[in-house]
Amino acid sequence: MNNPAQYLLQLFEAAERDNGQTFTARDSSAAMAEIERQAAMLEAGGDSAMPMIRRAFPEIWEKIFRSFLRVQNNNFNAGGIADQQVLSLGAQIALAQMRKTNPFSVSTFSETQRESARTFAQEFAETVKNDRTLPLELREYVASLVVEIQSVLDKYEMTGDFVLADALNRLFAAVFMAETQTRDKSRWQKFKEEKAGPFMQAFLGLALPNILSAAQLVLQITQG
């Protein structure tokens, strides 16, 4: 699976499709939701191009909907495009620009991988909860993030890979924050060796480039 913008460009045949690539309403909607989230963050950060790019989003949403409107039996997760849509040049340019903001890909998560992520998130939350040297704000953020990840995993059949990949990326970043802000170094050294290191190495081995940067940073810092 491609990054969100590339996935939609392929959906609308504005980019060459990968061999064996399939398209569903679920993944298409999740990809567009992720693009909207990224665009909002970039605009809030002062990116002056985002307001113009976001003007194309209503058209993209409409054509995602029309692409799957006639899917048999209203099966939201069904593969295959019911009605091939064509984006305007402006909408294609908007997606091409968003593709540049996040060049990494998103892989498909197996059930085993999802359960592994669930277990790791719970173990991380417990470790953070028991480390009273961490700032209260960070402990509250992690608690909220883990609840979100559990919800994403529970709703995976509806939300798909793009949403889960984003949540895991933020989870890995939170691990980095905890390990660099703690004063209880021995606790986190043990967590790194027994939990974080093996889990992140496994995900790096699964070639999930969208979470490489955060995971590699954690491993680099904690191995130093």
Average pLDDT (52-65) is 93
Could you report the per-residue pLDDT of 26-41, keeping only the tens digit for each?
Answer: 788 888 888 888 888 8
Question: pLDDT at position 66, please?
Answer: 86
Q: Which residue has the higher pLDDT, 166 or 71?
A: 166
Question: pLDDT at position 131, please?
Answer: 95
The position carrying tokens 């359960």 is 115
What is the residue-averaged pLDDT of the chain?
A: 80
Q: Over 80: is that where the pLDDT of 94 sits?
A: yes
Question: pLDDT at position 105, please?
Answer: 55
- Cα separation, 103 vs 118, in Å, equals 26
Structure tokens at 143: 């608690």
CB 95 within 8 A of CB 9: yes
Q: How confident is residue 52, by pLDDT bands cut at 50, 70 and 90?
A: very high
Work out the number of other CB atoms within 10 angstroms of the CB of residue 71: 18
Question: pLDDT at position 75, please?
Answer: 52
Q: Over 50: is that where the pLDDT of 87 sits?
A: yes
Question: pLDDT at position 102, please?
Answer: 67
Question: pLDDT at position 12, please?
Answer: 93
- Cα separation, 33 vs 20, in Å, equals 24
Average pLDDT (105-109) is 65
For the whole model, what pTM was predicted? 0.58
Q: Over 80: is that where the pLDDT of 152 sits?
A: yes
Q: Over 70: is that where the pLDDT of 71 sits?
A: no
Q: Over 60: is that where the pLDDT of 170 sits?
A: yes
Could you report the per-residue pLDDT of 111-140, keeping only the tens digit for each?
Answer: 888 888 899 999 999 999 999 999 999 999
Question: pLDDT at position 120, please?
Answer: 92
Question: pLDDT at position 44, please?
Answer: 87
Average pLDDT (50-63) is 93
Question: pLDDT at position 70, please?
Answer: 65
Q: Which residue has the higher pLDDT, 161 or 92?
A: 92
Percent of the chain whose pLDDT exceeds 90:
33
3-state secondary structure of 79: strand
CB 18 within 8 A of CB 3: no
